[in-house]
Structure 1
Amino acid sequence: MSQPTTAATAADASPRRIAGLALPALVVLAAEPLYVLVDTAVVGHLGRVPLAALAVGGTVLTLIAWLGAVVAYGTTGRSARRFGAGDRAAAVAEGVQASWLALAVGVLVAVGMQLGGGALARTLVGESGAVADAAAHWLRIAALGAPGLLLAAAGNGWLRGIQDTRRPLWFVLAPNLLSALLCPLLVYPAGLGLVGSAVANAVAQSISGALFATALVREGISLRPRPRLIRQQLVLSRDLLVRGVAFQASFLSATAVAARFGAAAVGAHQVAVQLWFFTALVLDALAIAAQSLIGAALGAGDDTGARALARRLALIGGACGVVFAALIAAGAGVVPAWFSSDPEVREQAMVAWPWFVALQPIGGVVFALDGVLIGAGDVRYLRNLTIVAALGGFLPAIWLAWAFDLGLGGIWAGLLLFVLLRLAALLLRLRSGGWAVVGAVR
């Protein structure tokens, strides 16, 4: 075990230190959505119906990944505070209990999709038919990887908490690279079509989860479930879970409305939204560094340093978002064609593109500040903010887009409003300083 036994203070968090945590986390965060982009490109050339089915099934899989993010983010904050207080064993023990929780939820999800995947797919599509049937079949197979997906999320959480981003890099990257090679082989030469995509996905998630579980065993601490500690984690995760539900209700609604505009529209929405998830998670690498560094600083009692670090991270996030916006704008005439040969799908993708570009600088600041507040344990504020922004902005805009036949432009305008509302509230919270509470566990 070559990891450090003491945490760096906020004063030590130079740009180089931030980059040292953020860059490996960036690769970890980007690996899954990058695989989904490869999957989208492979399936997109099968035709309009398989691409639309992947859009529906992929949205549900994203929901499962968000459950993993709840586990990971809650674990990171608690582990980082204990690590900052100088108790590495207790920080890893948080990971043991989070892993038991993740495994239980993953098994429930896998079983639930076997029983209810068909009904869920029909609900999202709005009718029975080829797209709903294909989406249900994809979901039932891909969901078998849910236990591994959630175990990997818990593993990422405790390893980030002890400021080890190197092992997660290999535990996530290697299985996803294997699956990216496996996917086109199963889809085309093996002749499995859309089913090959689901199999490759489940294989990657299962291998990744096994690697993280092995790392936990090698730490040499007790693996016994501790219900009291799990309950404490559930209390913290409750607000993150409610926040995640608000997110997913919004994005599931967006997919459902896009499906009602036709197969070309929902296929284009799949391309644009997966690119958005990809850029959002890449920018979220700063949030991972923020969770680890802010949690450790507050655990060590350094509230002044934590505030200064939060401002620095917000500025870095905005600058990264500007760079992303420029790259995405430059690729407007090229990138959609990577994912579909259907001219109607590409035409619809260009409707969402200006909104996609505009979201980047705003999102860069928002994601960084999300990480600051999660690291500080200020998740109740984040929960309330997300609910208000979703119910007051995103969801009404999505369904108004359907009611007034505004197409994908209306859906993506709602997403921009959602992010703007969050930006304003996060800046107010940052300025107040009420989030910077010191102590080993908040």
Structure 2
Amino acid sequence: MSESRVVAASPRRIAALALPALVVLAAEPLYVLVDTAVVGHLGRVPLAAVAIGGTVMTLIAWLGTVVAYGTTGRAARRFGAGDRAAAVAEGVQASWLALGVGLLVALAMQVVGDPLARSLAGGPGEVAEAAGRWLRIASLGAPGLLLAAAGNGWLRGIQDTRRPLLFVLGPNLLSAVLCPLLVYPLGLGLIGSAVANVVAQTIGGGLFAAALVAERVPLRPRPRLIHRQLVLSRDLLIRGVAFQASFLSATAVASRFGAATVGAHQITLQLWFFTALLLDALAIAAQALVGAALGAGDAPAARALARRFALLGLGCGVLFALLVVAGSGVVPSWFSTDAQVHAQARLAWPWFAVMLPLAGVVFALDGVLIGAGDVRYLRNLTVVAAVGGFLPAIWTAYVWDLGLGGIWAGLTLFVVLRLGGLLLRLRSGAWAVVGVVR
């Protein structure tokens, strides 16, 4: 079994898992860009409405990511132990969980969609009304969206990269064609955008559900297994909340230094999110392969994989850092023509570049520990790094008037603290627990 796992984890196999995952990860953001471009030609109010409603839908999609990551590790362990049916069964229970949460979200948005839109829009008005209407319709796609996330999770766990690629790209391409047709020739305007979203997400969720049925495994809900997945998702959710609180706090501090500072921060932060998206593809491959190795009872192979992924993450991070340094005088001008924004971006840029190689290792090792099921440690480490390091650092930057450079120094500290904790955990070997999950 050990020899087969080493072969399965060859560079070619890692690429075969990471590259399709990258396409799947990029599909939704790229569609959002198309949707924004289509709606943007309707005018300022529809564009603002989609910006507000889209923010809520992004949070719903984030819930899907939590479900997917938790499912991948559990399914990979079962698959590594040679029990494909049990791996798929993890997908069945994750899909029930995703469907239940999706239906609750869709129903809740019919009640709170309008008040939520008014709150985000800063009060009642034309934008809030349009955003609430868009959100009520778009949220009907939540069950399909979360079903697709669960499907991505179990299929990655059994190292099937082809079907997720087809099931995500197909509906997104359909929606990219359908959106302008519904908005303009058919005259639905802003509502056409929401309907296109719902159609794509429902079809995508249906395709993943059909893949489960085709596996011919029992489809009944198993509350005990769903509860275990909920515990895992809870830890990932708390970890994600720590991230969200950190980045929101950074933006809040940046806004206190003025419009040019927060504008430069937004540019750099979005570029950071984009590189994080690319590095997440490597983390997903780590989840699948490390989980499979531990499920097969091969702890040495799992440890070897961890080292390999750490080096791959470092290499990717160095490459991105070199690109960032090369683009320092050009890239900010793609987003703004304001000279003050460019000057502020130059303050954050060195920290951004220095952080990337470290972040490459951090993201890869995050994937290793998620695949190993060591999510509680990840949760605690992220909370400690955020509360004990990052948040004090950026508010100190505000009090001492350190500007955007101080904020990004705080972000770098956040990454350094997480890197230290991950390397200590990796060295201890306590994460490499073999056998299937219970």
The amino acid of 2:104's aligned partner reads: L
Distance 1:86 1:329 in 2: 46
Between Structure 1 and Structure 2, whose CA radius of gyration is higher?
Answer: 2
Distance 1:408 1:129 in 2: 34
**Structure 2 unpaired stretches of 5+:** none
Q: CA deviation at 1:344?
A: 9.0
Matched, 1:380 2:380: no
1:83 is matched with 79
Distance 1:370 1:287 in 2: 7
Alpha carbons of 1:161 and 1:383: their partners in 2 closer, same or farther (altered >3 Å)? Answer: same
Alpha carbons of 1:43 and 1:246: their partners in 2 closer, same or farther (altered >3 Å)? Answer: farther
Distance 1:391 1:129 in 2: 37
Alpha carbons of 1:47 and 1:344: their partners in 2 closer, same or farther (altered >3 Å)? Answer: farther
Distance 1:172 1:178 in 2: 10
Distance 1:400 1:287 in 2: 32
2:238 is matched with 242
Instruction: Determine if contact 2:260/2:344 at 8 Å carries over to the other structure.
Output: no
Distance 1:142 1:33 in 2: 16
Pick aligned residue for 1:321 from 317, 320, 333? 317
1:212 is matched with 208
Instruction: Determine if contact 2:2/2:301 at 8 Å carries over to the other structure.
Output: no
Q: CA deviation at 1:396?
A: 4.4
Q: Give secondary structure in 2 for the equivalent of 1:9.
A: helix
Alpha carbons of 1:301 and 1:19: their partners in 2 closer, same or farther (altered >3 Å)? Answer: same
Q: Give secondary structure in 2 for the equivalent of 1:224.
A: coil
- Matches for 1:29-428 after TM superposition, within 5 Å: 29-40=25-36, 54-121=50-117, 123-124=119-120, 135-183=131-179, 196-253=192-249, 273-331=269-327, 350=345, 354=349, 356-396=352-392, 412-428=408-424
Instruction: Determine if contact 1:287/1:371 at 8 Å carries over to the other structure.
Output: yes
Instruction: Determine if contact 1:52/1:267 at 8 Å carries over to the other structure.
Output: no
Distance 1:242 1:303 in 2: 28
Instruction: Determine if contact 1:7/1:296 at 8 Å carries over to the other structure.
Output: no
TM-score by length of 2: 0.84
Q: CA deviation at 1:360?
A: 2.8
Of residues 147-156 and 57-66 in structure 1, the stretch that sits farther from structure 2 once superposed is 57-66
**Structure 1 unpaired stretches of 5+:** none
Distance 2:260 2:176 in 1: 25
Q: Deviations over 1:26-51 (max 9, x none)?
A: 21122122323444555667777766
Distance 2:315 2:82 in 1: 33
Distance 1:387 1:209 in 2: 32
Matched, 1:17 2:6: no
Q: Give secondary structure in 2 for the equivalent of 1:102.
A: helix
Distance 1:145 1:407 in 2: 41
Instruction: Determine if contact 1:126/1:256 at 8 Å carries over to the other structure.
Output: no
Q: CA deviation at 1:162?
A: 0.8
Q: Deviations over 1:291-323 (max 9, x none)?
A: 111111111111111111101101101111222
Q: Deviations over 1:66-111 (max 9, x none)?
A: 2112211111111111111111111101100100000111111222
Q: CA deviation at 1:145?
A: 1.9
Would you say how many aligned residue pairs link Structure 1 and Structure 2? 437
Alpha carbons of 1:119 and 1:248: their partners in 2 closer, same or farther (altered >3 Å)? Answer: farther
Alpha carbons of 1:283 and 1:187: their partners in 2 closer, same or farther (altered >3 Å)? Answer: farther
Q: Deviations over 1:211-242 (max 9, x none)?
A: 11111111111111111221122222221222
Alpha carbons of 1:435 and 1:163: their partners in 2 closer, same or farther (altered >3 Å)? Answer: same
Of residues 101-110 and 199-208 in structure 1, the stretch that sits farther from structure 2 once superposed is 199-208
The amino acid of 2:360's aligned partner reads: G
Distance 2:362 2:155 in 1: 24
Of residues 394-403 and 429-438 in structure 1, the stretch that sits farther from structure 2 once superposed is 394-403
Q: CA deviation at 1:166?
A: 1.0
The amino acid of 2:382's aligned partner reads: T
Q: CA deviation at 1:197?
A: 4.4
Report the RMSD for the aligned CA atoms in angstroms. Answer: 3.8
Q: Which has the higher contact order (CA 8 A, sep 6+)?
A: 1
Distance 2:93 2:294 in 1: 23
Of residues 183-192 and 314-323 in structure 1, the stretch that sits farther from structure 2 once superposed is 183-192
Instruction: Determine if contact 1:7/1:86 at 8 Å carries over to the other structure.
Output: no
Of residues 11-20 and 365-374 in structure 1, the stretch that sits farther from structure 2 once superposed is 11-20
Q: Deviations over 1:155-195 (max 9, x none)?
A: 01111111111110111112222333444555666676665
Aligned sequence identity (%): 77
TM-score by length of 1: 0.84
Q: CA deviation at 1:200?
A: 3.6
Alpha carbons of 1:229 and 1:126: their partners in 2 closer, same or farther (altered >3 Å)? Answer: same
Q: Give secondary structure in 2 for the equivalent of 1:439.
A: coil
Q: Deviations over 1:196-220 (max 9, x none)?
A: 5444433332221111111111111
Alpha carbons of 1:372 and 1:280: their partners in 2 closer, same or farther (altered >3 Å)? Answer: same
The amino acid of 1:209's aligned partner reads: G
Q: Give secondary structure in 2 for the equivalent of 1:284.
A: helix
Matched, 1:433 2:429: yes
Distance 2:7 2:187 in 1: 56
Alpha carbons of 1:117 and 1:23: their partners in 2 closer, same or farther (altered >3 Å)? Answer: same
Instruction: Determine if contact 2:28/2:172 at 8 Å carries over to the other structure.
Output: yes
Q: CA deviation at 1:376?
A: 0.5
Q: CA deviation at 1:146?
A: 1.5
Of residues 56-65 and 281-290 in structure 1, the stretch that sits farther from structure 2 once superposed is 56-65
